[in-house]
Amino acid sequence: MERRAFLGTVGIALSAAVGGCTARGGEENGSEQTGTGTMTDEDDNQTSGESPTQVSGSGTVSRTVSDGSLSEPGLRKPHRLQFKNATDDSQVGTLQIRGSDDETRFEEQFELASDASVSVILTALDRYEATISLASGTSKTVELGPELFDCNTTTTTAAIQSDGTVDVMTASTRMACPGVVTDTVPAGESRAERIGEDTTEDTSRKPHAVLLGNPTDETWTARLRVADDERVRFDGVYTVEPEANVRVVLAEPADYQLDASVLETGAEATESVGADQFDCNSSSTSVSVTDGGELKIASISTLMACVPPEEAGNETTDADNETVTDADN
């Protein structure tokens, strides 16, 4: 199917999460320079008493908030947050970005000339809260959720208007993103996904199930990535309410790597699923979010003896060897 991308613009009020460091970029009139250095929060975040970073007219300075979770090849892209002065006068404002753990990921004060902007690349998948505080006393908070981190190129722009308000809009390409799921599973409900199709004629092979569950009385946001030897096949981010669960079926026999994490706590767990686990037995991997947002992961399987496919057709039973005689003889 031919996919078409177009630019859509919509207002947002969203939410998102994860830790990181900050990189600074330079400033150039009419263009953007991406920073290559990495700085700690202590080095990069301004304290109250420091002079604001000045950005000249039509110029852009770049910052990066990252923990590396989206820097590796995968199915999701980073999100860009742009703070812009759309007025004819210079404006002073502070941009603060907090993660889902309520820790500050970025904070800096800027003096923006007319049409100047700040571009912050969020390369860590999380649920963020960005607050813009102007010298005039105006404040605007924007929530940036994990749904913004998919295969599309997406930018959220917070622009200071001539009346002193801050308008927030999001622009994004609209490509279909196979293997990318961002969903909320209400309490007690379930969701199901299937990865691939088994094209072999071996009917004795059973698929492997990955079960993500939340048996706690709290709501957690969990990420589940499935990769084979060639690429990432699935990247699901689920906000799972109490007693909610997700079932992901791996249909194609292969060697898989499962990576699970909890956005609010940073807890991580991994498990390998080998191609040899796709046999006549029923097998599954359970990923449970425990109290405190920790993870427990384990694989189980039945232990039936499996007859090789090449031998299955030669099997005989006692019934096959029975001789039927006439009751009169």
- Domain ranges for the chain: 8-172, 180-304
Specify the pLDDT at position 205: 87
Residue 271: CA count within 13 A, CB half-sphere: 21
Look at residue 56 in the predicted model and tell me its pLDDT. Answer: 96
Task: Quick: pLDDT tens for 66-87.
Answer: 876 786 778 999 999 999 999 9
Residue 265, pLDDT score:
95
CATH number of the 180-304 domain = 2.60.40
Mean model confidence pLDDT for the chain:
84
| Pairing status of strand 59-66 against strand 139-144 | unpaired
pLDDT at 200 (0 to 100): 61
Residue 329: pLDDT band by 50, 70, 90 thresholds? very low
pLDDT digits (tens, 9 = 90+) for 299-316: 999 999 987 766 655 554
163-211 pLDDT, tens digit per residue, is 999 999 999 999 999 999 999 999 999 999 999 987 666 777 899 999 9
User: Does the pLDDT value for residue 32 go beyond 90?
Assistant: no
Bigger pLDDT: 26 vs 95: 95
Check residues 16 and 227 and name the one with the higher pLDDT.
227
At 177, give phi and psi (nearest 5°).
-120, 80
Q: What is the pLDDT of residue 324?
A: 39
Q: What is the pLDDT of residue 192?
A: 98
On whether the CB atoms of residues 50 and 155 are closer than 8 A, the answer is no
Evaluate if residue 318 carries a pLDDT over 70: no
**Stretch (H or E) spanning 319:** helix 318-321
Q: Is the dihedral of CA 272, 148, 155, 1 positive or negative?
A: positive
Task: Supply the pLDDT for residue 319.
Answer: 44
pLDDT for the residue 74: 84
92-151 confidence digits (pLDDT tens): 999 999 999 999 999 999 999 999 999 999 999 999 999 999 999 999 999 999 999 999
